[in-house]
Chains A and B, each alone.
Chain A
């Protein structure tokens, strides 16, 4: 690989690490901002802003993807980074729920759409040489996972040492480095010549959307990624209270989540190269099938510290390992020309799944007093997702020949 390609890879990975890490840290600010040491508008207002943030992140993703396809991912990364940084900085002065929702919710949600890991994947898919592409997608996802795993305790240390306001400003400065990092993702010189020409089966946004949404395999992929979002969000939010209810300590729960974060780095990285050796749809089917097995075994086995840690490690391996093969499949089916936008719609489905995972987890617990129905529901959904990927046609979309 050339120096320019390595620079592009490192800078792109750093953007993913910073944005994904910061994005994962918002839970740390709930009490400092909404409580007596902050703006005192209560947890509900904070939670509403975060819900809006996730919504705008999901809705903004296809739009950011379309802009990336039109103007280049590096410009979208740079613009998204500025919006994200502005949102973080303005959060520090948003003292009422409305302005907090505008800054911490809408601005940051839109910023994450542009300066997020998905735009980095799109840039790599367009600029990396074909034989290096799966590996680069795996590495980018692994770096984002590392950010998720390591930036959260760092954020907590900053809050304890300097307070929440200064921490947000430090995060804003970190995000403000995105435009400089994005410069190395410009298609130029050796980087451009190293990549394969952009392939596409459509000539316009509208045509690409018509092709994709008229293609059964695209819908199957969207359905599978919905399940991914559902399971990840449910486990992230409801795993600690589930363990607390059955007498497992909060410390063990946090170690379980840490195991997920650590092994996620390994699983994300491995799934990139595996997507070359195996068929992507077969790999995805296996990932969802194994998730069903892991969750079922966790529910059936006696709960202990060991079972929590083993579950965390196994789930971690399968956590974001779905992302590289899913992105690769979109590229395989429709080419790279409109990859960002088409993957953006798949990601929107992931976010909708995440919404239902969190919401239904709380709703079912409130009505039955148990998380078990939703856990087993997750097992069934994982089996369905495994089946959904099997009929996917892993080939470039081709129009049906017109009847004479």
Chain B
């Protein structure tokens, strides 16, 4: 390979690594912001859309234990509407993951939200 081609390859490689670094920086920043967003939402006491992975629990057990099922995604994954207490109770029953999600993110992920006038029983 001639020196001109070598130089072109070096430049392309540097440019590529710069774009990759920029992409990683943007993605990492976005992930941190989303992480903080989820953490803040999870600290609220009112009910929120919750991504649930049932683990060993059967579908019937999830249906019974959940305060409100929004969507059944399959493979043990569900969208439910739950308070922190509900999520804790589900974890104690063997649910592997119960993660409160910000409503816009849940909606973007395809979660069907409950009717506006819906209230969980106290």
Contacts and interface: CB of A to CB of B under 8 A. Distances in A.
Contact of A265 (B26, B33, B37): B26
B18 A1 contact: yes
A22 interface: no
Nearest to A138: B22
Contacts of A1: 18, 21
B73 interface: no
B102 A157 contact: yes
Interface stretch (A77-85, A139-147, A312-320): A139-147
Contacts of B9: none
A151 B33 contact: yes
Contacts of A157: 37, 40-41, 102
B44 interface: yes
A146 B29 contact: yes
Nearest to B37: A154
A161 B26 contact: no
A96 B40 CA distance: 30
Contacts of A161: 40-41, 43-44
Query: Does more than half of chain B's interface fall in helix, strand or loop, or is it mixed?
Result: helix
Contacts of B41: 157, 161
Contacts of B44: 160-161
Given A153-B37, A154-B33, A139 B25 contact: yes
Contacts of B102: 153, 157
Contact of B25 (A13, A153, A154, A273): A13
Contacts of B22: 135, 139, 142, 269
A132 interface: yes
Interface in B2-48: 15, 18, 21-22, 25-26, 29-30, 33-34, 36-37, 40-41, 43-44
Interface residues of A, number: 25
Interface string B43-71: 11000000000000000000000000000
A158 interface: yes
B29 A17 contact: yes
B26 A143 contact: yes
Interface string B85-121: 0000000000000000010100000000000000000
A142 B26 contact: yes
B29 A135 contact: no
Given A132-B18, A153-B104, A269-B22, A158 B40 contact: yes
A147 to B, nearest CB: 8
Contacts of A14: 29
A114 B54 CA distance: 50
A304 to B, nearest CB: 20
Contacts of B29: 13-14, 17, 143, 146
A6 interface: yes
A10 B22 CA distance: 9
A232 B22 CA distance: 25
A162 B39 CA distance: 12
A273 B25 CA distance: 17
A13 B25 CA distance: 9
Contacts of B30: 146, 150
Contacts of A132: 18
A132 to B, nearest CB: 7
Interface in A1-39: 1, 6, 9-10, 13-14, 17
17 contacts: A1-B18, A9-B25, A10-B25, A13-B29, A14-B29, A132-B18, A139-B22, A142-B26, A146-B29, A146-B30, A150-B33, A150-B34, A154-B37, A161-B41, A161-B43, A161-B44, A273-B15
Q: Give the 5 A-B CB pairs with smallest separation, nearest first.
A: A150-B33, A157-B40, A139-B22, A154-B37, A161-B44
Given A154-B40, A162-B40, A269-B26, 7 more contacts: A6-B21, A10-B25, A146-B26, A154-B37, A161-B40, A161-B43, A273-B15
Interface of B: 15, 18, 21-22, 25-26, 29-30, 33-34, 36-37, 40-41, 43-44, 102, 104
Interface of A: 1, 6, 9-10, 13-14, 17, 132, 135, 139, 142-143, 146, 150-151, 153-154, 157-158, 160-162, 265, 269, 273
